Structure 1
């Protein structure tokens, strides 16, 4: 198992954001963490990245307990987060933003190789590599953010709301790219509100509500669950 979380609780001050969350992500899987806004999805991924100050529970990465490992070292281990809202550097060029992702020693050694990989996935980034990132469309900025994550040479990439606010055609494109990660041997934890599209590409999924996991199983099991169909798929 590549990632294993046991009984995770996380807090913002006195406010408990997630309660007893346990989940697993196997090597090569696409696992979706689903739920509406403010259900605890982003808090969970921030805790995995080491960005939550107050938490309880255990986080294992490749069977190693990483609770006390700082965020930068988790990144060096190949545990990469593409944050919600893209968080690009708007006054740097596309290429400069991508190169910012290659800050670990291993990633720097493969900078040109990874750049070519990003440009192959997102030809738009090659065409706009000298353009300021802040002047691109929302969809193009999201492609750049995912590309920056790939520049870090991820073994497990956590995509936090990668299609939020994007046009339907761009959403379809992003989900197609995520599927391509399988062939690249990149494991994916996908954090999404788009339940229907996520279940189409994921191997397994967990449903979060009010900070708790309320359902888990294979994508087909959740797709055929009456609770999920009525509550999230609009049927």
Structure 2
């Protein structure tokens, strides 16, 4: 089996940039790397992503949102994640089940036990070997996220950015709560530091945990 690393955090925490940088560094070192994201990662899941993140869909109820995430994940696991891990590759995923627990559980206040069951149903036996959590103040993250959205004229994926500060505070608290319950899986990093500083911490964290089985092929 390969090695599954997930990148988590609030909006604008810098995780997507670090996914790209980590992939570049691991690839240069000779590792086989697959970069993916949730929601999305394959055509069907990307189509669901467009529905989920479109601010025009503000009428979407929380249960619909949750079930769409589960549907996108089931397709993504079957098409991308499971085959890549089975072939021994390192998979870097921008968001995974922890985001569902925090956004729909802590944020939307849906039943967390129900969410956990849906996550297990969609992901099957696939669980992260390591999760990097990028933590930063909500105001900092949202300012970054909106700057990115305003710079992108093609697609405005901003349905969550339009939620209240309290909603995003609950999500941040949720992530930190999950990290506290699984310290052996989570690595919490200061997402308010510079990109270079965070990249160094990410690299060190990954190399410390990367098993010999995923060494250069």
> Would you tell me which structure has more helix in proportion to its own residues?
2
Structure exhibiting the larger radius of gyration computed from Cα positions: 1
TM-score bin, normalised by smaller chain: 0.3 to 0.5
TM-score by length of 2: 0.35
